[in-house]
Amino acid sequence: MASSIAASRTPRARVSAALFRRPWLRAVLLLSAPGAWFVLIYLAALALLFVSALWKVDPLSGKLIHSWTLQNFEELVNEPVYRTIALRTIGIAAAATLTDVLLAVPFAFFAVRVASKRMQGVLFVAVLIPLWSSYLVRVFAWRLILAKNGILNSFLGGLGLGSVNIGYSNTAMWIVFSYIWLPFMILPVWSSLERVPDSLIEASADLGARGWRTFRTVIFPLILPGIAAGSIFTFALTLGDFITPTLVGGAGSTMIGNVVYSNVGIANNVPFAAAFAVVPLIVMGLYLLLARRLGAFEAL
Amino acid sequence: MTGSSRASRIALGVFTALLMLFLFFPIVIIMLYAFNPSNIQSWPLPGLSTRWFSPTWHNAEMRHALWLSVRAGLFSTAIAMVLGSMAAFAVHRFRFFGREAISFLIVLPIALPGIITGMALNSFISFGGVEFGLLTIIVGHATFCIVTVYNNVLARLRRTPSSLVEASMDLGADGLTTFRYVTLPMIATALVAGGLLAFALSFDEIVVTTFTAGAQSTLPIWIFGNIRLGQQLPQVNVVVLFVILLSLIPVALAQRLTRDTGVLRQAAAPAAAVP
């Protein structure tokens, strides 16, 4: 019937009716532009990242040599310094992730299960604000706080506790990474806690389990997918960062991101930078597989 | 609540209060430093003054960086709004093979570590022989901004009944008219919210931008460069104060516009805040 009406109308109406009858055509047309953008630009760029990791730079002329070589990866594996940097990066990412779990779970528990509705709203906004305020700015704030003549030492000195020297160190990086990514952990944990039915907790209490036991055997397994989802962000974001190590790290704080950054800029060795950027990609791939097993994707 | 004693509730409350302090202390401190009259960055501040505000506003380099950031933000937001809503419509209306793959692909540029997206685009741009500059910054930003629009529009579409569109068609409206008078008003606020978030995201981004900007400086790159070299710190502090305020306004507006879908609460939304 639609076709008989459409036939008597303007061309615009006819096109519209034709599209209405062919949903797949509409889907194809709608997806053409975003699809082209992602395939021709983003996926092509990712593919080129892998390819250029297999190229090298002529040490004399600084020109790219487009011939296949595993030289960059050999250098990554054989040079102990790069292994140290990779392990340091993964270690700090793991430490920040673990710290964020320990901070986020009690906080979210209070927000979801103890706080009043109004308080809950306030706490929620309080998580969103740092999440959306500039990341660079917040790292800079910590640089000022932890500096030798910063607030931390001024405060400790005021209490007569002397001073600490943690500015520009791995400790500073650990604090800052934990701080910066904390909201990314809180939100998924919060929403997974909201989904735990009260009846399960009541049942656990009725069966004689105390608070801690209920948490360990009932609540924790149920919020594990949320924790896994949050950890994807905290882990991935730390792996690829070079701002925090540059601003609050010290001499022994070089991370993968710094090596990539300096090889694109000063050293001008893009193939080597590409090869090292593949390392977090592989680590993240493995991590995503693990997170999927914990149900992280359902919690996203 | 059930299952926890009074003591543990108090302990949790104290913990939460301390965590709030931890979350907000650095933000308050950095805002205070904008009023530091001295050009030495130490605590306690010797007083409060707005003496650096005027020189900052007249700093030509800063203005250049700000203008570049604004242009990059506006263009990439526009691209993200078009491409993000197109993808959201396609995914919402039609079931097809690879639907999940599309959602995954759209989140990928921000779910992956920033240096990967940045490095990939950098190799791509230099391989293609394109000159680094505003255009390449926009391409990078639009790629990771699409997700905010996509998420917001898709969440809204899922909450609106498709019967409205069918009714419009039954009453004789063609696709374009239906879009103009039925669909667009329904998704308008979600679209605007997605755009605001995209702008906030673009305005703050530094990691991907570093790899796509070449010798150009966006505002975050200008800030980062000056911090690293220890230059013009009083002016950096003033800029930082405004960057915080500027990035919160769009988010506050977006939050108001999308109360119904609560998309800001999804775990995928924080992904959109990735630098």
Q: Does B274 touch chain A (CB under 8 A)?
A: yes
Answer whether 0.90 is exceeded by the pTM. no
Is residue B271 over pLDDT 60?
no
Residue B42 or residue A136, greater confidence = A136
Q: How confident is the model at residue B180 (pLDDT cuts 50, 70, 90)?
A: confident
Identity of residue A148: K
B42 near A CB under 8 A: yes
Domain ranges of chain B: 60-271
CATH code, residues B60-271: 1.10.3720.10
Q: Do B106 and A154 touch (CB under 8 A)?
A: no
Measure the CA–CA gap between A172 and A96, rounded to whole angstroms: 11
Query: Residues A260, B223: contact at Cβ < 8 Å?
Result: no
What is the structure's pLDDT at A299? 65
| Residue B103 predicted with pLDDT over 70 | yes
- Cα distance between the two ends of chain B: 38
Q: Can you give the pLDDT at residue B275?
A: 30
Q: A37, B96: Cβ pair inside 8 Å?
A: no
Instruction: Spell out the domains of chain A, with CATH numbers in brackets.
Output: 71-140+169-299 (1.10.3720.10)
Task: Point out the residue among A17, A229, A246 whose CB comes nearest to the CB of B267.
Answer: A229
User: Which range, of B16-30, B159-173, B207-221, averages the lowest pLDDT?
Assistant: B159-173
Confidence of residue B265 (pLDDT cuts 50, 70, 90): low
Q: Give every CB contact of residue A5 below 8 A, 6+ residues apart in sequence.
A: A17
The single-letter code of the amino acid at A248 is: V
User: For A175-179, A256-260, B92-96, B267-271, which range has the lowest pLDDT when averaged over its residues?
Assistant: B267-271
Q: List all residues 6 or more positions away from B220 whose beta carbon is below 8 Å from its beta carbon.
A: A134, A136, B69, B204, B205, B206, B209, B243
Q: What are the pLDDT tens digits along chain A (300 aa)?
A: 445 454 556 777 777 777 777 777 888 888 889 999 999 999 999 999 988 888 888 777 777 777 888 888 888 888 899 999 999 999 999 999 999 999 999 999 999 989 998 999 889 888 988 888 888 999 999 999 998 888 888 888 888 887 788 888 999 999 999 999 999 999 999 989 998 888 888 888 888 888 788 888 889 999 999 999 899 889 988 998 999 999 999 888 999 999 999 888 777 788 899 999 999 989 988 988 888 888 777 666
- Whether A295 and chain B come into contact, CB under 8 Å, resolves to no
- SS3 of residue A57 by DSSP: strand
Q: Is A245 on the interface with B (CB under 8 A)?
A: no
B243 contacts on A by Cβ (under 8 Å): 134, 137
Residue A281 contacts B where some CB pair is shorter than 8 Å: yes
Rounded to two decimals, the ipTM of the complex is 0.86
Residue B53: CB atoms within 10 A of its CB come to 16
Q: Stretch B208-226: mean pLDDT, rounded?
A: 93
